[in-house]
């Protein structure tokens, strides 16, 4: 897919996607543990799958990875 894209901006977005997806690992793990973890009050539910979806986005998207990196280096 990357080599098929002509637009440089789109190529950069495609290239960054795996890192952005990996940055969701910890928040998803916390959410899954909270929702499906053991409880002494109820039987734990079973997680059967996780779906990633997308919709048409308008305006400037917020790049979570770039924002996290910028703040870690003290950049605006």
User: Could you state, in chain order, the average pLDDT of each consecutive group of 10 residues for the chain (76 residues)?
Assistant: 81 86 87 87 88 70 67 71
Q: What is the reported pLDDT for 2?
A: 75
Residue 24 lies in a domain: yes
Residue 33 lies in a domain: yes
pTM of the model: 0.56
Q: What is the domain range of residue 31? A: 1-39
Residue 31 lies in a domain: yes
Residue 75 lies in a domain: no
Residue 47 lies in a domain: no
For residue 37, give both structure tokens. 């973890």
CA distance 52 to 33: 18
For residue 31, give both structure tokens. 């959410």
Residue 1 lies in a domain: yes
């Amino acid at each position: 897919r990357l080599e098929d894209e002509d637009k440089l901006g789109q190529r950069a977005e495609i290239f960054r996607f795996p890192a952005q997806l990996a940055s969701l690992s910890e928040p998803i793990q916390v959410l899954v543990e909270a929702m499906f973890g053991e409880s002494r009050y109820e039987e734990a539910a079973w997680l059967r799958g996780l779906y990633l979806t997308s919709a048409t986005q308008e305006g400037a998207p917020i790049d979570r990875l770039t924002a996290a990196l910028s703040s870690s280096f003290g950049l605006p």
